[in-house]
Structure 1
Amino acid sequence: MDFVKDHTWQILIVLNYAIALSAVVTILFKKLNPTKALSYIIGLLALPFVGIIVYYLFGQEYRKTKIFSRKHVLNQSIVKKIQDALELNTKAINEVDDLLDQKSKLIPLLYNNEKSKLTINNDVRLIKNGDEKFKLLFKDIQEAKNHIHLEYFVIKDDKIGTELLNLLCKKAKEGLEIRIVIDDVGSSISSKMKRKLNDCGVEMHAFMPVRFSNSTGKMNYRDHRKIVVIDGKIGYVGGVNVSDQYVNANNDRYWRDTHIRIVGEAVKPLQILFFTTWDFVSDSEIQISKTYFPEHHCKATVPLQIAASGPDTDWSNIMEAIFVAITNAEDYVYITTPYFIPNSEVITALQVVARSNIEVKLIVPKNSDSWIAEYATNSYLQMLLEAGVEVYQYTKGFIHAKTMVVDGVFSTVGTTNMDYRSFNINFEVNALIYDKKISNELTQFFTDDLKHCEKLELESWKKRSKRTKLIEATARLMAPLL
């Protein structure tokens, strides 16, 4: 015992490196992205104890262990019939080929990756900011007749959240089926509100609950989606979570976001996506009926695909769709993202397209809600500026919208940031829209946002202090870990 007391520090160091070396071997066998693997290895070897903690919390590869099963939902006959019906509708792709031109490559890409069908009969409404979204959402909920499904990364029982949850309680008492999935890391709901929801008959489950004693890897693989499905007829998806910071009525900091409301065929894949998550988080096996997939009577024709990605998909569907859309651009690419920490594929695509005399514009926040994300984002901007990409920093507040418009014919709105986490780790969902009208409206959103931006100039950007560049480089090195 005296030996142990006299050499406690040395013993701990030896134990640390024994565990660290074991983890390094595991990382090598996992065949991770080299940048990510090297980041973990450096952290494990250069940062005693801290490196192990970071790897313990963030380094587990749940995608490989296939714990995210969707087979129960996808194997149900009613779901197969719905998917088959949508499959027949993909013949309508011929009707939009002239519009899409090279963008039509996206349709078979997503179908081959994840059986994501093209839907034609949709009415799509673009929504700017949370205050507009919640006005529409509350009205739709009040008029709901059968069921309401919500899946959110963030739900808080602050002012706007309490208003929403109270409304859902009211609808549950009226006899509607109310199901809510919240991410356990992003959301914060009091025990009192949870009891009230339960007493009202609202079913709610947390996605991968995090407990200190059982949190291996659970800070990763979060449910970052924002989905609402009402009566199987109306769907919402986009960047706006349920929290007061997303509503600009009384906020100190302006919050700029984009969401969409969908009526039509595309609500069906959103509904299926919700049920796959519900099947994972709930204890009971739900039997899905036609009630959840009613016949729609939408006459509008906005071609749209619902693209989902996460540890339950074999491919990085949304990242690949973004990559193909960028590389097939002929006139312009406009991107808005709150976090720009991309992989090498997206960086190369943007650089090549910009150097090909195609207009590429990127909007990012000047002041992020995360200092490490802000510095990591800034570390990528010089290489874009050198390639001819126009980079703008949003100054009015915080821009949280996740959108892209290409050539006025393709656009995407969803939950996916341009970063490692969205591309490879979290559960995400985007609507891919093949429509000139929606693209033009989204382009107008982009143009309006530019009025509140500062354009970066290469020469002045290069004059940042060495200290700033060092912090950026460090943040960039840490980015794959976070």
Structure 2
Amino acid sequence: MRKGIQILILTVIIITFYLFGFNFFGKFGGTLLSIFQTLTAITIGLAIFMDNRNPSSTLAWILVLALFPVVGLVFYFLFGQNYFKRRKYDKKAEQDQEAYERMDRNGRAAAGELAQFSPEHQKLLRLSQKVARTPFSMATRTRVLTNGEETFSSLLKELKEARHHIHMEYYIYRADEIGREIQRTLIEKAKAGVEVRFMYDAVGSIGLSKSFLKEMADAGVEIGVFGAVRFLALSSRVNYRNHRKIVVIDGKTAFMGGLNVGDEYLSRNKAYGFWRDTHMLVRGEAVRSLQIIFLQDWKYVTGRTIMGLEYLSPDIEPSCCGAVQILPSGPDNETSSLKNIIFSMITSAKKSVWLATPYFIPGDDILTALQVAADSGLDVRILFPAKPDKWLPFLASHSYFPALLAAGVKIYEYEKGFLHSKLLIADGEVATVGTANMDMRSFHLNFEVNALLVGTDSVNKIVSDFERDLLSTKPMELRAFMKKKIIVRFMESAARLMSPLL
């Protein structure tokens, strides 16, 4: 019997016992209930312990199971099991690796190209190639797209000029005004003979209706759904999300970054107000990396392999100004590639580390790296939203800030609207921007894609945008945290305790 079915049956048995055990066994019900609760926590806790997880994650799960055995077991079944990841994604990891190795130069840059960078940047690029498995490119142009207006106007323009194929992959896609406008463009291009493939995440885009998808399918758009399950609320797959946002057009132009498709990303949602985000347009050699990431995800969800030269022959831009590397990460990569690259960027910085993220649940290693950088005299800044879109991560994030402030990290609350940009800048020369938040979910559970930029013009644009964003912030102060009401501090501490599970 499959392990998932076994755990589901055990969950039903435990819930039934808790609901009816006391009445059935009379005066001995309370004692039996206590024994059963203890055995439940010990049994599942031992299974988690033997799984050799991150220590903080192990302790968090054991505590949840001990305090709330019934609810904890249900949550463990849905979100805590690693067996699904190992069973389902090991094969995907092997296939992805084979695809990356077929890329130019077998995913390794020539020594002569590395020689033009500083020793610190050479070290970072060697690490990123090893753990991310993709090559860096000296023949790629990028353009930073600031916020929704610039992003969607550029996207629609390029979509309308597509001649051969459009490949689109989003975590959240809404059937609202901008979603309908893009849908109409996809339908028009499909009817005109352009190959259109549209992939969405089953959890993030759960609101997409069958009729919306049928309109596209009837026009010839191929549809793929990542993480599709029959009973979404009762599946452990819900925990592994495709958080990527990728569009590839004719194999020559690509888009990636922080923006999903929805009216809120155009600042049309009154609850969020102004939406601050960062996206990027890519032309040249690195488009091939984004294409392969999409095609491997497509193969995973549909079973169809598409690897012809018509998809993998991008225009090569003249080599001139810096390196670009596309960084895929996810539960199919056991090396925690993105977190390792971010850690290396922080620890190798000489002057400054600037970070923007809507969620900050970094883990002990990244937290320590930021504290040590600030203690060493580096200019460490964190840009964080003043108001949340999700309360639990918001509270957990605030629990990390007092220690950082005490170390000299400058933390700024963005007050103009909601900050959704996900970026890290080291020394004003190296940056990573993309879909990954600075949290454990992005590091370990979600499928993400970032771009690493070394010495490119786009790094300068990211720096200038960051400096402009600072004008719409107020600095956090350590004494303000000390004056918080005890209930608020308790909620932040409780949320942090749960942070390895978020």
Q: TM-score, normalised by structure 2?
A: 0.90
Q: Which runs of 4+ in 1 moved over 6 A?
A: none
89 and 103 in structure 1: CA distance in 2 versus 1, 3 angstrom threshold: closer
Task: Give the distance between the partners of 1:339 and 1:56, measured in 2 at CA.
Answer: 25
Q: 1:192 aligns with which of 211, 222, 225?
A: 211
Q: 2:145 aligns with which of 127, 148, 159?
A: 127
2:9 aligned partner: none
1:390 deviation in Å?
A: 0.3
Native 8 Å contact 1:236 1:262 kept in 2: yes
Q: In structure 2, the residue corresponding to 1:368 is in which secondary structure? A: coil
Q: 2:307 aligns with which of 271, 288, 305?
A: 288
Cα shift readout 1:391-449 (whole Å, capped 9, x = no counterpart): 11111111000011111210111111111101111111110000253222111111111
Native 8 Å contact 1:332 1:406 kept in 2: yes
Q: 1:153 aligns with which of 148, 160, 171?
A: 171
Task: Give the distance between the partners of 2:114 and 2:382, measured in 1 at CA.
Answer: 30
1:64 aligned partner: 86
Native 8 Å contact 1:119 1:265 kept in 2: yes
Q: 1:398 aligns with which of 418, 421, 424?
A: 418
Q: 1:323 aligns with which of 343, 348, 353?
A: 343
1:412 aligns with 2:412: no
Cα shift readout 1:350-397 (whole Å, capped 9, x = no counterpart): 000101111000011111101111110110000000000001111111
Task: Give the distance between the partners of 2:174 and 2:304, measured in 1 at CA.
Answer: 27
Task: Give the distance between the partners of 2:384 and 2:492, measured in 1 at CA.
Answer: 15
Task: Give the distance between the partners of 2:234 and 2:265, measured in 1 at CA.
Answer: 29
1:238 aligned partner: 257
Identity, % of aligned positions: 36
Task: Give the distance between the partners of 2:140 and 2:203, measured in 1 at CA.
Answer: 33
2:246 aligned partner: 227
Q: Which amino acid aligns with 1:362?
A: I
Q: Which amino acid aligns with 1:93?
A: L
395 and 24 in structure 1: CA distance in 2 versus 1, 3 angstrom threshold: same
1:91 deviation in Å?
A: 4.2
2:386 aligned partner: 366
Any residues of structure 2 matched to 1:8-23 within 5 Å, and which? Answer: 10=30, 17-23=38-44
1:174 aligns with 2:192: yes
Task: Give the distance between the partners of 2:102 and 2:210, measured in 1 at CA.
Answer: 40
Native 8 Å contact 1:90 1:117 kept in 2: no
Task: Give the distance between the partners of 2:95 and 2:375, measured in 1 at CA.
Answer: 48
Q: Which amino acid aligns with 1:150?
A: M
353 and 46 in structure 1: CA distance in 2 versus 1, 3 angstrom threshold: same
124 and 57 in structure 1: CA distance in 2 versus 1, 3 angstrom threshold: same
Q: Which amino acid aligns with 2:338?
A: I
Task: Give the distance between the partners of 1:36 and 1:246, measured in 2 at CA.
Answer: 33
1:478 aligns with 2:482: no
Q: 1:247 aligns with which of 256, 259, 266?
A: 266
1:23 deviation in Å?
A: 1.4
1:49 aligns with 2:67: no
Q: TM-score, normalised by structure 1?
A: 0.93
Task: Give the distance between the partners of 1:86 and 1:481, measured in 2 at CA.
Answer: 34
Native 8 Å contact 1:103 1:325 kept in 2: no
Task: Give the distance between the partners of 1:29 and 1:203, measured in 2 at CA.
Answer: 43
Task: Give the distance between the partners of 1:166 and 1:420, measured in 2 at CA.
Answer: 37
Q: 1:164 aligns with which of 159, 164, 182?
A: 182
Task: Give the distance between the partners of 2:484 and 2:96, measured in 1 at CA.
Answer: 53
Native 8 Å contact 1:121 1:300 kept in 2: yes
Q: 1:183 aligns with which of 201, 226, 229?
A: 201
Q: In structure 2, the residue corresponding to 1:291 is in which secondary structure? A: coil
90 and 254 in structure 1: CA distance in 2 versus 1, 3 angstrom threshold: farther
Cα shift readout 1:321-353 (whole Å, capped 9, x = no counterpart): 110000111111110000001110000000001
Q: 1:423 aligns with which of 418, 443, 448?
A: 443
Task: Give the distance between the partners of 2:268 and 2:232, measured in 1 at CA.
Answer: 40
Q: Which amino acid aligns with 2:290?
A: L
1:104 aligned partner: 122
1:180 deviation in Å?
A: 1.7
Any residues of structure 2 matched to 1:248-263 within 5 Å, and which? Answer: 248=267, 251=270, 253-263=273-283
Native 8 Å contact 1:408 1:436 kept in 2: no
Q: In structure 2, the residue corresponding to 1:471 is in which secondary structure? A: helix
Task: Give the distance between the partners of 2:250 and 2:331, measured in 1 at CA.
Answer: 28
Task: Give the distance between the partners of 1:235 and 1:473, measured in 2 at CA.
Answer: 41
Q: Which amino acid aligns with 2:501?
A: L
Q: Which amino acid aligns with 1:196?
A: E
425 and 213 in structure 1: CA distance in 2 versus 1, 3 angstrom threshold: closer
1:84 aligns with 2:84: no
Q: In structure 1, the residue corresponding to 2:122 is in which secondary structure? A: helix
1:21 deviation in Å?
A: 2.8
Cα shift readout 1:81-100 (whole Å, capped 9, x = no counterpart): 434365355642223x14xx
1:63 deviation in Å?
A: 3.6
Q: 2:333 aligns with which of 306, 313, 317?
A: 313
Native 8 Å contact 1:235 1:267 kept in 2: yes
Any residues of structure 2 matched to 1:205-220 within 5 Å, and which? Answer: 205-212=224-231, 215-220=234-239
180 and 3 in structure 1: CA distance in 2 versus 1, 3 angstrom threshold: closer
Q: In structure 1, the residue corresponding to 2:383 is in which secondary structure? A: strand
Q: In structure 2, the residue corresponding to 1:474 is in which secondary structure? A: helix
1:14 deviation in Å?
A: 5.4
1:3 deviation in Å?
A: 8.7
1:250 deviation in Å?
A: 6.4
1:196 deviation in Å?
A: 0.9
Task: Give the distance between the partners of 2:21 and 2:433, measured in 1 at CA.
Answer: 62
88 and 376 in structure 1: CA distance in 2 versus 1, 3 angstrom threshold: closer
